[in-house]
Structure formats: C-alpha cells, structure tokens
Amino acid sequence: MTVETPIGLTRAVEESSKKELEVLALLSRSLLETVDLDEQLGLTIRLAAEALRADRGSIMLVDQETGNLQITAAEGLPPEMIGHVVPVGEGIAGWVARHNEPVAVHGEVQDPRFEGVNPSLDSAISLPMYSHGVVMGVLNLVRISGDEFIEQDLRFASSLADMASVAIEKASLYARLKDREARMSRLLGAAIGAQEQERRRIAAEIHDGFLQDLSALFLKIEKVRNLLKREQIDDAMATTKEVQDDIRDQVASIRDFIFEVRPPSLDQIGLAPTLEAMVQRMISGDGVTAAFSSELGPDRLPESIETILYRTAQEALRNVVKHAKASMVSVRLDRSGSRVILEIEDNGRGFDARTPKRGHYGLETMRERIELAGGDFHIMPRDGGGTIVGAILPLD
C-alpha cells in the first residue's frame, strides 16, 4: 500500500524549502559583503524569526573570559534588551552554551535543568553556535502561541546558527587582522624613530667623543714636534708615551662602542657567546654579580631571532643598570623543543609594569618585537624582590 502525500502539504513543504533557500542565499551574500558583525547577526535573527514564524528571537554571544552570554541581536524583544547579560549556565541558553547541545522545549517548562525559565514559553529552540568545539554563542527562537517547532525547523535553524558562527569567526579574524595591522604600523613608526635616535646618538658619540679625542691627540703630537725641535728628547718621549696610552684607550672605547651598536661576534660566533660577553661588559664591577647560563652552546639560531633576542637582552640589561639598583643579575638562554627562551632576572627594586610610562619606549619596543615575531613577552615580579623579564620565541 502506498500513502499519497496530499497535494496541499507537498506544496507547503516546497514553499518552506524555497523560503529557506532564499534566506540562506541572502545570508551568505551578506556574509561575503559585510564585516560588520552586528549587522550580520541582526539580519540573521530577523530572517530566522520570519522564516520560522517565531515571535521572538535572539542571538547571544559568549564572553570568552567570563563565560557569560550577552544578547547581541534580537527580534521581537524591546531594544533595551540588546546588551543584556545572562550569567554563565543560567536558563536554557546558558545550559546550551555550557553543554554545546541544542535544546527544544514545548509546553510548560518543567525540566529541572531550566529552573527559573519563563513558564509562558510555548515552543522554544536554542542552538549553540560553535567552531572547533568552542561555543561562541547561542541562537534562540520562541513561539509564544502556536505550533511546536518540528525536526525540519530545527535543522534549518541549525544551518542558520552555523552561518552565524562563520560570521563570528570572520569578524574575530578581521578584528585580529586590524589589530595586527595597527601594531605593525605602530612598530614601523617606533622602529623608524628608534633608528633615527640611534643615528643621532652615534653621531653625537663620534662628535663629542672620538673627534674631541683625535683633536687632543693632534695637539699632543704637535707638542712632541716642538719638543723634538728643541731637542728635549726625554719630554718628547714622555709625551709620545701619553699619545700611545691615549690611542690604546680610544681603541678600547671604539671596540665597546661597536659592540653596543652591533657586535660583530653576533654574526661570527652567535647569540649565546655574544650575550655572555655583553653581560660581563654591562654588569661589571660596582659589587654587582652577573651570571649567564645557556644550554645552547655554539648552536646557531635563525639570524632574525638572534637579533631580536640580542636587542631584547640589551634593553633589559640597560634597564637593570639604569633603574633596578640590583646586586645580582642573571641571564638565561635556553631552548625547549622548537622554542627559545630568554630570561633576564634582577634582584633590584622591582616596578609595576602594568602602568606604562609615557615617553619611555624600551619595554614597549621589546614587547612589540617579540610579539610580532609570534612570541610571548612577559614581565614578572621576582620572588624575594626584583624583576624577571622573559621572552619565548618560536623557532619556526
């Protein structure tokens, strides 16, 4: 025996499928064209409520930090409900978000899971919106009076929830991209500023330091010539000795200067030995103990990573010298799997890194450099006083 579907019912099913296709087409077009999440979610809930004959509908987004749900788009609700927060786990939507499972209820709500839910609901569905197993929000539709949501309604609503999830993912990627772009342009500005500042410093050092010293040497040699002319050989010899000592001092200070600007050893023998030498140079004397440890040995890292870590250690050590009043500094460079870890620890006076200082760029530049290279930068108070500045960089 075959059961014939009444023609009227077939037509109704065809009509509703057509309507569903139209809604999906509209939403996917808008998904392509807009990056405005509120607009996309507003359109989704409006079309969902219309196509599924719901009297009320809402899309709630999960605050990933607190787990609370916030109404972001609504249909059939007073406008002031937008922004309303539902605490984590509360009501049907809270349960759906917590368990990542859809729920459909009909008639008086007696389910103990949803205690406190408005008992006047006639028929309601709540669907999780998720990606990679993480719930990002909940789509709710309510019919106050009328027929029950059926299996087909649930399937369609779940396609809409999936599309809304794509919209949320897209918006979050877009926001991250914007943020990265803004950081890149800030870093570029800071890098250009820092480069100019460094050039100014080098020019000043050459002008006030080396040029002055060369002029002084010139005068001393002039003096030697006059002494020789007057055949005061002993005095000429003594002044010549002074000239030699001055030249030796200058060679040493030029070497220090080159080391600070860009140590040739960084390219020649690598990061670990260069850092070790820098720790000794910068933290020598004054009753300060300096330690350096590394499991890296002579292993080389990619050049850009060596440069970033060298500059980070250099600025962190400068800060220790300038600000910390420490009696112990220790630098550690290690590798763990495909990550390299740099830590600069001092036992000085410590500071609150949460309040940035205007017009001071050292810490900010370190953070920007490390984070742009895909790494993690942190500043922590050290147990027993002082500061730990750390950077973790992926090697790939």
Ligand X SMILES: Nc1ncnc2c1ncn2[C@@H]1O[C@H](COP(=O)(O)OP(=O)(O)OP(=O)(O)O)[C@@H](O)[C@H]1O
Q: Which does 357 bind (CB under 5 to 8 A by kind): ligand X, Mg ion, none?
A: ligand X
289-294/328-336 β-pairing? parallel
Q: Per CB under 6 A, does 382 bind ligand X?
A: no
* Alpha carbons 59 and 42: distance in angstroms, whole number: 8
Mark 334-353 with x for binding to ligand X (rule: CB under 6 A) and - for no binding.
------------x-xxxx--
The window from 57-65, 106-114, 285-293, 358-366 that contacts ligand X (CB under 6 A) reads 358-366
Token pair 């007057």: residue: 230
Type of residue at 98: R
Which two structure tokens, joined as six digits, stand for 328? Answer: 């112990």
Candidates 361, 371, 380, 392: give the one binding ligand X (CB under 6 A).
361
Window 290-319: residues binding ligand X (CB under 6 A): 319
Q: Which one of ligand X, Mg ion, none is in contact with 323 (Cβ closer than 5 to 8 A by kind)?
A: ligand X
**Candidate segments 255-263, 306-314, 359-367, 368-376, binder of ligand X by CB under 6 A:** 359-367
Q: Is 273 in the site for ligand X (CB under 6 A)?
A: no
- Picking from 303, 320, 306, the residue whose alpha carbon sits closest to that of residue 362 is 320
| From 170, 183, 323, 332, residue interacting with ligand X (rule: CB under 6 A) | 323
Q: Rule CB under 5 A: is residue 319 a binding residue for Mg ion?
A: yes
Helices (H), 3-141: 7-33, 37-51, 91-99
Which one, of 65, 86, 87, 90, lies nearest residue 74 by Cα? 86
**Near ligand X by CB under 6 A: residue from 363, 370, 388, 391:** 363
DSSP summary character for residue 114: G
d(CA 384, CA 175): 40
Q: Is 223 in the site for ligand X (CB under 6 A)?
A: no
In the bound state, the residue with its beta carbon closest to ligand X is 362
Strand order in the sheet with 56-62: 85-86, 69-75, 56-62, 134-143, 123-131, 103-106
Least distance between Mg ion and beta carbon 265 (Å): 23
Q: What is the DSSP letter of 79?
A: G
Q: Which one of Mg ion, ligand X, none interacts with residue 346, CB within 5 to 8 A by kind?
A: ligand X
List of residues contacting ligand X (CB under 6 A): 319-320, 322-324, 346, 348-351, 357, 360-363, 387
